[in-house]
Amino acid sequence: MMKFNTINIHGLKVFYRESGNKALPTFLLLHGFPTSSALFRNLIPLLEKDFHVIAPDYVGFGQSASPSHVDFKYTFENLTNYVDDLLTALNIHKFFMYVFDYGAPIGFNLAVRHPEQILGIVSQNGNVYQEGLGKKWAGRKKYWAHPTKELREKYKAAFAPATIKGQYLGGEKPGAIGPDGYTLDIYYTGKPDYAENQSDLIFDYQNNVANYPKYQAYLRQYKPELVAAWGKNDPSFIYPGAEAFKRDDPNAEVHLLDGGHFVLESHWQEIGKLILDKWGNN
């Protein structure tokens, strides 16, 4: 049965979904932007018989605490710290992980820190290669190199309802995506200081790109079993980023699915089957 829990990590409330028998291997589900652990609402029931499933909301997302960026350092390194400390608090020391979008740098940060803890990886539009960066990232790189207040304001368009809805529907067939996911995400953008907090993460994303060689070195050295289940129509993280995994990891398999950035919304059954076929009945 699904449980909805909160835990105090360094004085901040961290929310997480939990399901499955704790005696089974843990599957850590790491969401992206602008969503939350609600992204995995359809996938968790498929996994809970074979795994102990944990899906946290990062600080600043979903039901977790959202302190002002004046009081909290919104960087991917710091978000990783909170996920890392959550796992320690829950006595989880080995796990499979599912990484999507922002979840990729957080998950690969964990893998670089604790390679012995990683049992396997699913990357669903979770990019760690230059080849996977779509056209929009050229503009972001200019912003990172020459940040201005005007550009910071410009990129707040990423939090607009129309943008969020477009991220869900883009690359998908008509009628394939329900409104639940993007409606909930749009609701969370109304939190106090949301735009400023998230703007800090947009600026910090440059450090994730700078860390790509570190993540790739991890793949080459440890060769984890990896399933890249990728929405091939995603304009943000394009599918060559999925194919690049095979260059560094001989244990990587790539599945290009006919969907967009949020392909889990339309292909959760297919992705669940890929996971269970690979690692089920442990």
Residues designated as active site? 261
Nearest to 243 by CA among 256, 260, 259, 258: 256
Task: Tell me the C-alpha distance between 228 and 209, whole Å.
Answer: 19
- DSSP 8-state secondary structure symbol assigned to residue 235: S
Residues 6+ apart with CB under 8 A from 41: none
Task: Tell me the C-alpha distance between 235 and 71, whole Å.
Answer: 34
Q: How many CA atoms lie within 13 A of 65 on its CB side?
A: 18
Beta bridge partners of 3: 18
Residues 6+ apart with CB under 8 A from 134: 234, 235, 236, 237, 238
By the 8 A CB rule, do 271 and 183 touch?
no
Task: Tell me the C-alpha distance between 24 and 282, whole Å.
Answer: 8
Cα 154 off chain centre by: 24
Residue 184, burial from CB neighbour count under 10 angstroms (0-12, 13-18, 19+): middle
